[in-house]
């Protein structure tokens, strides 16, 4: 497992860092699930974890695990969840909102719904576009292959880790990656 982590980090570090044409993540703005404007500038100098999930079938265990991680250090770790429409059945947005905010009572930010995957015919969520496109993030192209992928962004705005769904439950792994972000 640790070899895979270091290989992942090594691959990310081989790419050039943030060319001047890249979009600064802290300049992005988008709506929350409650229609409140999320300014990424509020997340500057914080370890940022972004998770995308199936809006029609949110994985409660993953979201509760991330909420637990978030609550351990709300001053330094920020989490943003993106409910995505490219998986499963059409989402009932109001039921999803009630589940996430009222039933699960999640304390981290949740964006409005959008598409995660890069498709010429869809309007990809602005945050997912930044994560998946090298010309946006200035570092690497990513493909969304399944619901539940997680991305870690440094305090300075560098995307440096991507985890598949099966690794998300490993809070120790996520904490290790956050504590060992690459020098920029």
Q: Over the stretch 86-122, which tens digit does the pLDDT of each residue have?
A: 987 888 989 999 999 999 999 999 999 999 998 776 6
| Cα 148 from Cα 128, distance rounded (Å) | 13
pTM of this prediction exceeds 0.75: yes
Examine the pLDDT at 177 and tell me if it is beyond 80.
yes
Residue 184: CB partners within 8 Å, gap ≥ 6? 17, 154, 156, 158
DSSP 30: E
Spell out the domains of the chain, with CATH numbers in brackets.
2-179 (3.40.30.10)
Examine the pLDDT at 18 and tell me if it is beyond 50.
no
């Amino acid at each position: 497992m640790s070899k895979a982590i270091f290989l992942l980090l090594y691959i990310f570090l081989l790419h050039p860092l943030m060319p001047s044409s890249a979009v600064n993540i802290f300049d992005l703005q988008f709506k929350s699930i409650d229609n409140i404007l999320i300014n990424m500038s509020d997340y500057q100098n914080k370890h940022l974890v972004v998770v995308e999930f199936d809006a029609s079938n949110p994985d409660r265990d993953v979201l509760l695990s991330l909420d637990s991680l978030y609550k351990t250090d709300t001053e330094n770790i920020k989490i943003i969840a993106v409910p995505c429409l490219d998986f499963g059945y059409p989402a009932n947005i109001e039921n999803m909102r009630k589940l996430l905010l009222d039933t699960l009572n999640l304390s981290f930010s949740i964006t409005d719904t959008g598409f995660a995957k890069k498709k010429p015919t869809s309007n990809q969520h602005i945050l997912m576009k930044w994560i998946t496109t090298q010309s946006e993030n200035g570092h690497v192209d990513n493909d969304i292959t399944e619901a539940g992928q997680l991305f870690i962004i440094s305090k300075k705005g560098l995307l440096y880790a991507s985890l598949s769904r099966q690794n998300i439950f490993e809070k120790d792994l996520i904490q290790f990656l956050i504590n060992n972000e690459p020098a920029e």
